[in-house]
Amino acid sequence: MSESVLVVPLLVALLAFAAAAFDAVLAASAAGSPGAWRVWDAPLREAARLLVRQRRNTLAADRLLRRTGIAVLPVAAVLAAAVLPLGGADAASDSSIGIVWFNAAEVAVWAGVWLAGWSVNSAYSLVGGYRIIAQGLAYELPHMFALITVGVGAESLRFADAVSAQHGLWFAVQMPVAFAVYLLSALAMAFWGPLASPVGRDLAGGAMAELSGADRLVFLAGRYAMLAVAAAATVPLFLGGGAGPLLPAWLWTLVKTLAVLAALVWAGHRVPVLRMDRFMGFAWTVLIPPTLLQLLVTSLIAL
């Protein structure tokens, strides 16, 4: 425990805002509006608009579960961020099982989305809720193998040990397959871009179709926060943490995080949404064998 307990939620919020702002800028530039960078404050205006908007109530909705599900997203993002090392400073909670903790917090997102989809008693939302489970089961196995590979390479489940194990060579170079799989599952954690079908346009917004007002704001904020945290975790896991020339460690961590986050947001605009059944088949038949091979190679090196 340290003073960073207070800093972490703030950092997550700032990163989430950065992601949302970049997303808005990319959308504006794709729409061809001149001076797209000027819409950077669109998320703030959207937040204000949602805050004054009335909450939509559906028939026979399960309010308790809806509130729980929506609140789970930002809470899970902050909990996942709590174990990440912040460059020079210690993590908010330097847990010896940080990687497992991160995994658990990120799985909680499935529960949040499913609850949000189920509880509003609407068909499109429910389908969106089911899609997150299918998607979760598809990406989780390769994702877990990627995390285990890092754990084996670092010979520890602590994020700080993973960082110090990369002094010689970044894990992104040592275990490229795990890195690629992790980036894919970072998109899946925030159901973003090609893996956004739980909230897909074909379902009129899927799990968040019926959410409006403050509910929608918290849900969207939690989603951007999860994307930001997934990007931030890439840095200690694969990109050597705060290591880098000249600049201080915290600044390198920030620069790398923003670079990964920007790449993820950009990918969300460039890649079409995948169909869930195709992704499931791809994840289980194509992704799992190379991640297992990568794990084997890393284990042999570690021995």
Encoded one letter per residue, x for contact with another protein by CB under 8 A and - for no contact, window 201-240 reads ----------------------------------------
Nearer to another protein by Cβ, of 130 and 170: the residue is 130
Site for another protein in 146-205 (CB under 8 A): 157
Give min distance, CB of 137 to another protein, in A.
8
Asked if 284 touches another protein (CB under 8 A), the answer is: no
Looking at residue 62, what DSSP letter applies? Answer: -
Nearest alpha-carbon partner for 81 in 63, 105, 64? 105
Quick one: which of 230, 288, 15, 231 has its CA closest to 106? 230
Question: In the window 245-264, what residues touch another protein (CB under 8 A)?
Answer: none
Name which position in 42, 71, 97, 267 contacts another protein (CB under 8 A).
97
Candidate ranges 10-18, 114-122, 164-172, 265-273; the one touching another protein (CB under 8 A) = 114-122
Binding flag, residue 93, another protein (CB under 8 A): no
Q: Is 94 in the site for another protein (CB under 8 A)?
A: no
Q: How far apart are CA 234 and CA 155, in angstroms?
A: 18
In this structure, how many other beta carbons lie within 10 angstroms of the beta carbon of residue 289?
12
Is 103 a binding residue for another protein by CB under 8 A? The answer is: yes
Per-residue tokens: 82: 């709590």
- Other Cβ atoms less than 10 A from the Cβ of 146: the count is 27
Q: Which residue among 23, 94, 140, 215 contacts another protein (CB under 8 A)?
A: 140
Token pair 């925030």: residue: 190
Torsion of Cα atoms, 265 then 19 then 122 then 71, to 10°: 140
Provide φ and ψ at 271, rounded to 5°.
-105, 135
Interface pattern 3-42 for another protein (x via CB under 8 A): ----------------------------------------
Number of H helices, E strands in the chain: 12, 0
Q: How far apart are CA 154 and CA 237, in angstroms?
A: 9
Q: Select from 10-18, 23-31, 96-104, 269-277 the region that touches another protein (CB under 8 A).
A: 96-104
Phi, psi at residue 185, to the nearest 5°? -75, -20
121 is an interface residue for another protein by CB under 8 A = yes
Q: Is 115 an interacting residue with respect to another protein (CB under 8 A)? A: yes
AA letter at 33 = S
Question: Tokens representing 236?
Answer: 């200690």
* Site for another protein contains 296 (CB under 8 A): no
Residues 6+ apart with CB under 8 A from 221: 13, 16, 47, 73, 74
For residue 280, the minimal CB distance to another protein (Å) is: 14
If the CB atoms of residues 140 and 210 are measured against another protein, the closer one turns out to be 140
- Which helix (H) or strand (E) element contains residue 234? helix 214-238
Task: Identify residues 56-85 at the interface with another protein (CB under 8 A).
Answer: 60, 62, 64-65, 68
- Contacts with another protein by CB under 8 A lie at 60, 62, 64-65, 68, 95-97, 100-101, 103-104, 107-108, 110-111, 114-115, 118-119, 121, 130, 133, 136-137, 140, 157
